[in-house]
Copies of this chain bind each other. A is one copy, B any other.
């Protein structure tokens, strides 16, 4: 899927900036982004020394910021990077 143009509100920009401010979330986003397709929650838990509760919390922050899409199948959750949103954010910053 080609990334499409996204317009970010000021509120979204702030949510994204905050989401990226935590090192763990930055790392999570990188891991998700490193995969062409989606990444399963359990795969991430294997790599991050953090409780399931904390991981869930961080994923929610990334989702609220609009940086990832969460899809659930049965018991399992998986995540994909929304590249168009990340791109819109970097372009917004570059305009400064």
Cα(A29)–Cα(B96), bound, Å: 8
Interface: A93 (CB within 8 A): yes
Q: How many copies does the complex hold?
A: 2
Residues on the B chain within 8 Å of A93, using CB: 20, 86, 89-90, 93
The tally of residues in A whose CB lies under 8 Å from a CB in B reads 20
Flag if B81 contacts A90 (CB, 8 Å). Answer: no
Q: Contacts A20-B21, A21-B20, A90-B90; is A96 near B33 (CB within 8 Å)?
A: yes
For residues 19 through 52 of chain A, which have their beta carbon under 8 Å from a beta carbon of chain B? 20-21, 23, 26, 29-30, 33
Interface residues, chain A, CB within 8 Å of chain B? 13-14, 17-18, 20-21, 23, 26, 29-30, 33, 81, 86-87, 89-91, 93-94, 96
